[in-house]
Amino acid sequence: MIKKISGLRMFLLLSMAAVLLVVTGCTSNSASSDQAKENKVTIKAGSKDFTESLILGELYSLALEHAGYKVERKLNLGSAIVHNSLINGDIDFYPEYTGTGLLTVLKEAPKFDSKEVYQEVSAKYKEKFKLIWLEPSAANDSQGLVMRKRAAEQYQIRTISDLQKHASQIRFASQGQFDERSDGLPALVKVYGSFDFKDRRLYDNGIKYDVLHNDKADLAVAYTTEGELSKDEFVVLEDDKHVWPPYNIAPVIRQEVVEKHPEIKDILNKVTAKLDNKTVIRLNAEVDIKKREYNEVAKEFFNTIK
């Protein structure tokens, strides 16, 4: 009997060892690019946990690898912890949105000029966190509220002000954090007044367009570069009282990393320069609508710009 136990243990140990070997083997394989140069510096790349951020995180990682860096990917982090991970040094950079930096991280008042917002966040980030904002993208992935076109027409809702008036007839599909985040519903309430929705339910962010499509809700939170918005079925409400600042994309990177390896700036900026709204929506759509893997889509796009 004792023999049998040790047999079981042995089996577990062996299988564990095998797993370890394979896992480490695989990750190191994918990390080392085909043209590793003399500098074997490892950069830890992060991203948030939604499609666009994943694609961008992967895209920047590919650019660094192409330039001969080793990249350790820590993609798919929760939006709420990614900033702290960066400060802690768990990651070295991640793609962030200027508006999010302004409202959520710095908790400043909203501003509406892209340049102004960028200047403010980059100055304050450097001073407060020793973090550097690289060049921002042309793409602007603002927050928004999206409705099914039919419902919007039915209640004649075009702007968020209209929505506020008809809120009691509207079913809202939230994803939890929007109700709590300072640049989410609380910000809207401050500017537009309270929203007494007929119904409010939480759904995973990934299924919100399905929920709208299946008429389980009328209204959802949107990001303006989402692939689904390319469809005619949905309409984004106009933020007529300007709650939301512009949300341009830029990698935020730790100061010491940039100082040690200044050329990283150019490598990443070159990628950001290619990102306009059309491109980002197209990339998102490849993943969310055509159901391809984000790393594949990123690689494909990178091959066209390198």
Partner 1 sequence: MINESIAYLLLNIDKYYEAVMVHIEISLAALAVSFMIAVPLGIWCSKNGSVSYSVINAFTILRIIPSLAVLVIAMPILGTGFVPALFALTLLAIPPILINTYSGFRNIDPFVLECAAGMGMNAGKILLAIEIPLAMPLILTGLRTSATEVIASATLASYIGAGGLGDFIFTGIGMNDVRILLIGGMSVALLSVLTEVSLTAVQHMVTKYQRD
Partner 2 sequence: MITYLLRYYDQMLILLLEHLYLVCLSLIISLLLAIPIGLLIARSKWLSTAALSFFGVVYSIPSLALFSFLLPAFGLGKMTAIAVLVIYNQYILVRNTVTGFQSIDDSIIEAGYGMGLSSRYMFFKIQLPLALPIILGGIRIATVSTIGIATIAAVIHAGGLGVLLFDGLRMNYLPKILWGTILSSLLAYLANHLLLSFEAKAIEKARGECRGDTV
List residues near partner 2 by CB under 8 A.
1-2, 4-5, 8, 12-13, 15-16, 19-20, 22-23, 26-27, 49-51, 74, 76-77, 81, 85, 90, 204-207, 209-210, 287-288, 291, 293
Cβ distance to partner 2 smaller for residue 84 or 194: 84
DSSP code string of 152-198:
HHHHT--BHHHHHHHGGG-EEEE-SHHHHSTTSHHHHHHHH-----S
Question: Smallest distance, Å, CB 178 to partner 1?
Answer: 9
In this structure, are residues 177 and 166 in contact, taking their beta carbons and an 8 Å threshold? no
Q: How far apart are CA 173 and CA 282, in angstroms?
A: 25
Q: Could you say whether residue 207 binds partner 1 (CB under 8 A)?
A: yes
Residue 12 interacts with, from partner 2, partner 1, none (CB under 5-8 Å by kind): partner 2
Question: Smallest distance, Å, CB 207 to partner 2?
Answer: 5
DSSP code string of 46-107:
EEESSHHHHHHHHHHHHHHHHTT-EEEEEEEE-HHHHHHHHHHTS-SEEEEEHHHIIIIIS-
Cβ distance to partner 1 smaller for residue 47 or 137: 47
Residue 8 interacts with, from partner 1, partner 2, none (CB under 5-8 Å by kind): partner 2
DSSP code string of 5-19:
HHHHHHHHHHHHHHH
Question: Smallest distance, Å, CB 187 to partner 1?
Answer: 15
Beta-strand relationship, 249-254 and 131-133: antiparallel
Q: How far apart are CA 75 and CA 57, in angstroms?
A: 7
Q: Could you say whether residue 180 binds partner 1 (CB under 8 A)?
A: yes
Question: Smallest distance, Å, CB 32 to partner 2?
Answer: 16
Q: Could you say whether residue 202 binds partner 1 (CB under 8 A)?
A: yes
Q: Could you say whether residue 230 binds partner 1 (CB under 8 A)?
A: no
Q: How far apart are CA 221 and CA 236, in angstroms?
A: 9
Binding-site member from 72, 90, 179, 276 for partner 1 (CB under 8 A): 179
DSSP state of 299: H
DSSP state of 38: S
Cβ distance to partner 2 smaller for residue 19 or 189: 19
Binding site for partner 1 (CB under 8 A): 78-81, 84, 173, 175-177, 179-181, 201-204, 207, 210-211, 214, 216
